[in-house]
Amino acid sequence: MKASISDLPFLIFGSPLIEQAEIDEVVACMESAWLGTGPRVAQFERDFAAYQHLQPSQVAAVNSATAALHVSMVAEGLEPDAEVITTPMTFCASINAIIHAGLTPVLADVDPSTQNIDPAAIGAAITPRTRAILPVHFAGRPCEMDSIMEIARKHDLKVIEDCAHAIETSYHGRKAGTFGDFGCFSFYATKNVVTGEGGMIVGRDDARIARAKVLALHGMSKDAWHRFGDQGYKHYQVVEAGFKYNMMDLQAAIGIHQLARVEKNWKRREVVWNRYMEAFADLPIGLPAPPAHDTKHAYHLFTIMLDEARSGISRDDFLNAMNARRIGTGVHYLSVPEHPFYQQRFGWKPKHWPNATRLGRQTVSLPLSPKLTDADVERVIDAVSGIVCRTGKITA
C-alpha cells in the first residue's frame, strides 16, 4: 500500500548532519567546564587556517558571519559614511553590517546567469566616496575575483569577501576569502560547516586580524581569555571600544569535527547537485549555471527559477505546493531593495536592480544537505517534477 503524504516525515530545509564525534566533543567540553573562548576555539582556528592554506595568525573565530563582517569593516578604519559596494542578492546581514560599521551600502546588480555581483555594475557604481567592495560568493559560486580585484586596485578600494556560503569555494586555484583584505565565513545551522551560530574572519594581514580579534572581545588586549587559565591571573587592558563577538568552546567543539568532514560532505552535496541537474534538465524551470572552469563551487544552495509564464506556476504557489508535500524549501533571496527598511532609509526601488529583482521573485532553494538520503533526493525530484508538470494544478 502506498504511504500517503501526511505519513511522510517533513524534510527540513538545510538540516545539518551532526555525528557522534561532535556530540562527544560537546560533552567533553561541558565536562571540562571550560565553555567560553578557550583551547577548543584555538584548535578550531588552527584547523580552519590549515584548511584555507593560511597561518593561524590570519584567522579569528567569532560568533557569526554578521559579527565577522561588522568587525572587519570596523577594523578597516574607513571614514564615516564611506560607500561600500555590494550585491542586492544577499542576506540582510551583509547590508546591516555595513550600516552598523557607520558606512553606506551601495548596490550593484548581479549577472543574471551566475547570480553574483557583476563587475561591470561595480565599475558603474563607483563614486568619489567609494572605499570598499563587499562581494558575496552566492550559493558557493565564486565571484569574478580577477575583475573585482582589478577594480579594487585601480580605485584603491578595500575588499571584504562575504564567504557565508563559500567555505569550500576556490577561484583559479585560490580559496575564497583570501583575495580581499578580509573574508567572512558563517557556521550558522544551515551552512556547510555548522557550529549552531558561529563565524570566522580570515585576512592577509596579521596585524589587521589581531585588531579584529581584539575588537571581537570588548576591545580587550590580546588573548584576554587566558586571564582565567592556570597560569595565574593576568590583567588585560581595554585598548578600544569593542564588541562581544567571541566564539565559545562549546561552538568550536562542534566545528572541529564538522570541519574534519567538510570535503566528505561536499562530495555528497555534489552527487545530489548532479542528480538534480540531470533530473530537472527537461523541466520548464531555470537551473543553476554550471560551475565555471578552474573554480570550485561550494554547492551550498541549489536554486531553481520559476518563471510563471514558462513554468505554469508562480514561485509562491510552488513553495506552498512543496510544503504540502512536506518538503522544506528556502528563498535566497528576495532582493534587498524589496524590504521596506532599505526603501525608506536609502530610497531604493527594486526596479533599479532588475536582474536581482527578477531572480529574487523567481528563486527557490531545494534541500541540499549531506544528510539527505537517496530516497529523500528522489522525493524532492518527484515533487518538483509533479508540481511543474501539472502546470500549477497541485494534487496531493
Ligand X SMILES: Cc1ncc(COP(=O)(O)O)c(C=O)c1O
The site for ligand X (CB under 6 A) is made up of: 64-66, 90-91, 93-94, 136, 162, 164-165, 186, 188, 199
Residue 326 CB burial class (10 angstroms; 0-12, 13-18, ≥19): middle
Q: Nearest distance from residue 335's CB to ligand X, in Å?
A: 13
Give the cell for residue 304: 531553481
Q: Compare residues 185 and 280 and give the one whose CB is closer to ligand X.
A: 185
CA distance 45 to 60: 7
How far, in Å, CA of 203 to CA of 12, rounded?
A: 34
CB of 164 to ligand X, least distance (A): 3
Taking the C-alpha atoms of residue 45 and residue 53, their distance in angstroms, rounded to an integer, is: 12
Give me the least distance between CB of 134 and ligand X, in Å please. Answer: 10
For residues 199 and 312, which CB has a smaller minimum distance to ligand X in the complex? 199
3-class DSSP state of 201: strand
Least distance from ligand X to the Cβ atom of residue 52, Å: 17
Quick count: other Cβ atoms within 10 Å of Cβ 339? 16
Contacts of 360 (CB under 8 A, 6+ apart): 88, 89, 331, 333, 334, 335, 338, 350
Straight-line distance from the first to the last Cα atom of the chain, in angstroms, rounded to the nearest whole number? 16
Distance CA 230, CA 235 (A): 14
Q: Which is nearer to ligand X, 298 or 388 (CB)?
A: 298
Q: Which is nearer to ligand X, 163 or 224 (CB)?
A: 163
Q: Which of 191, 222, 244, 371 is catalytic?
A: 191
Residue 191 annotated among the catalytic residues of the structure: yes
**Measured from the CB atom, is 63 or 311 closer to ligand X?**
63
Residues 6 or more apart whose Cβ sits within 8 Å of residue 1: none
- Given the complex with ligand X, which of 68 and 384 has the nearer CB atom? 68
Give how far Cα 314 sits from Cα of 317, 325, 333, 339, Å: 5, 17, 16, 20
In the complex, what is the shortest distance from the CB of residue 196 to ligand X, in angstroms, rounded to a whole number?
10
Alpha-helical regions (H) of the chain: 20-32, 39-51, 65-76, 92-100, 119-125, 145-155, 206-216, 249-260, 262-280, 308-311, 315-324, 340-346, 354-362, 374-389
* Distance (Å, whole) CA 24 – CA 39: 16
Please report how close the Cβ of residue 373 comes to ligand X at its closest, in angstroms.
Answer: 25
Distance CA 24, CA 20 (A): 6
Active centre residues (catalytic): 191
